[in-house]
Amino acid sequence: MNKESLPSFQGQAPFKYDIVGSFLRTKAVKDARTEFEKGNLSAESLRKIEDTEIAVLVEKQKQIGLKAITDGEFRRGWWHLDFLWELDGINKKQADHGSIAFHGKDTKAETIEIHGKIDFTSHSFLEDFRYMRSIAGERMVKVTIPSPTMLHLITTVRAADYQPIDAYKENKVLLHDIAAAYKKAIAAFYAAGCRYLQLDDTSWGEFCSLEKREEYQKRGFDMNQLAKDYVALINETIADRPSDMVITMHICRGNFRSTWFSSGGYEPVAEDLFGSCKVDGFFLEYDSERAGDFRPLRYIKDQKVVLGLITSKSGELENREAIIKRIEEAAQYVNIDQLCLSPQCGFSSTEEGNLLTEEQQWDKIRFVREIAEKVWGNGK
């Protein structure tokens, strides 16, 4: 795909009003996935229904004025596992419900494990992106995938019973192969026309949690070194990205059925993450006291910071003036021209979705746009 066929505003992402990525699955998508899992619907028929519903979603995003659009993650069950399951060297595995402690809610008992050399050779997400490009028109298509740190975190840090395969007795070899696989993925997405890629990452939310830090330290992890290793992993992963490809990171503290699993401000990781990670922008959860204050943003350099001040966990709209005041508070640490606004997370990080209606979801996005235009003007 040549540059002339790409949206004219490439390179400006993330935008003053933006989204994290996922949307509430429509009834048609939910029903189709249920019938597919029961064996009553073919994969081809499921995909046709998904195509139709994604096309409707795209039109809604265009109508609301989003400059970058997504497929809402309509084809996924999980924000991360669907991508990771298709990597070479990864197996799907049953998990204990207690492996991630959401407050009052249980996820499906699914996870990943390493069984061979990590690599990226083919992936259904590429075909999903091509479909999006075919219906996006002049809009930029944003692709969301789990950060490479998530592969390492899930298989080695969270897994109390982790036993490395022979190839990965040395952790540095595993980190190298994860980065190499992701480099191939990024190159493949770029070749398909992707110019806006987001790495979704809950590892930093865990590293901000004093409770999680203590838990992992008791199991022998040096949390400060692990943070440095993860920044190095991300930087190596994105080192070869072309100059016209924007790569951002979304940091989350958990988002399942309007619940969460970690809490704590960014200070424990701010200097390493904000000061050294070479992504083009950070989407930062800031919708509750669990995220702390804005002072850790003092380490931000030239990256854009998308403030997730509007919660996706409930349908009630926030106080407009209070949100504007918080943007002004953040501007004490980061130039206001580097700041943007979005919901704090997606509306449906898993197929179950958060506890709000589709109408409330769209009201939230309109609200984000209205505030952004009031703060930064219509032309930015």
Q: How confident is the model over 162-185, as pLDDT tens digits?
A: 899 999 999 999 999 999 999 999
Residue 55 lies in a domain: no
Predicted local confidence at residue 5, as pLDDT: 52
Residue 34 lies in a domain: no
Predicted local confidence at residue 257, as pLDDT: 45
E strands, 180-329, are 196-201, 246-251, 281-285, 304-310
Predicted local confidence at residue 97, as pLDDT: 56
Q: What is the dihedral of CA 194, 308, 61, 134, to 10 degrees?
A: 10
Q: Directed axis angle between helix 27-38 and helix 43-64, to 10°? A: 160
58 three-state secondary structure: helix
Q: Which residues contact 226 (CB under 8 A, 6 or more apart)?
A: 157, 207, 216
Residue 57 lies in a domain: no
- Confirm if 128 and 51 have CB atoms less than 8 A apart: no
Alpha-carbon gap, residue 69 to 57, rounded angstroms: 9
E strands, the chain, are 68-69, 88-94, 110-119, 140-141, 143-146, 196-201, 246-251, 281-285, 304-310, 339-343
Token digits of residue 50: 């998904």
In 264-288, which positions are buried (b, 16+ CB within 10 angstroms) versus exposed (e)?
Answer: bbbebbbebbbeebbbbbbbbbbbe
Predicted local confidence at residue 53, as pLDDT: 98
Residue 152 lies in a domain: yes
Domain range enclosing 297:
3-26+67-376
Q: Is residue 1 very low, low, confident or very high in pLDDT (cuts 50, 70, 90)?
A: very low
Residue 145 main-chain phi, psi, to 5 deg: -140, 160
What CATH number is given to the structural domain containing 208? 3.20.20.210
Q: Return the number of other C-beta atoms located less than 10 Å from residue 164's C-beta.
A: 14
Predicted local confidence at residue 260, as pLDDT: 43
Alpha-carbon gap, residue 297 to 345, rounded angstroms: 19
In 320-346, which positions are buried (b, 16+ CB within 10 angstroms) versus exposed (e)?
Answer: eeebeebbeebbebbeeebbbbbbbbb
Average pLDDT of the residues in 232-258: 87
Q: Which residues contact 91 (CB under 8 A, 6 or more apart)?
A: 112, 113, 114, 115
Q: Is the peptide bond before 7 cis (omega within 30 degrees of 0)?
A: no
Q: Express the helix, strand and coil content of the chain in percent, nearest 5 each.
A: 45, 15, 40
Q: DSSP state, 25?
A: P
Predicted local confidence at residue 99, as pLDDT: 45
Distance of CA 175 to the CA centre of its chain: 20
Q: Is residue 210 very low, low, confident or very high in pLDDT (cuts 50, 70, 90)?
A: confident
Question: Closest by alpha carbon to 361, among 345, 338, 340, 378?
Answer: 345
Average pLDDT of the residues in 74-90: 93
Residue 56 lies in a domain: no
Res. 35: pLDDT tops 90: yes
Summarize pLDDT for 304-359 with one digit per residue, the tens: 999 999 998 888 999 999 999 999 999 999 999 999 999 999 998 777 767 799 99
* Arithmetic mean of pLDDT over the chain: 90
- Return the higher-pLDDT residue of 259 and 209: 209
Question: Closest by alpha carbon to 295, among 252, 265, 327, 325?
Answer: 265
Predicted local confidence at residue 46, as pLDDT: 98
pTM of the model: 0.92
Res. 52: pLDDT tops 70: yes
- 259: β partners: 256
CA angle 317, 313, 71 (to 5 degrees): 100
Q: What percent of the chain has pLDDT over 90?
A: 77
Residue 189 lies in a domain: yes
Res. 259: pLDDT tops 70: no
Predicted local confidence at residue 262, as pLDDT: 55
How many domains are there within the chain?
1
Residue 365 lies in a domain: yes
Average pLDDT of the residues in 207-229: 92
Predicted local confidence at residue 317, as pLDDT: 95
Residue 52 lies in a domain: no
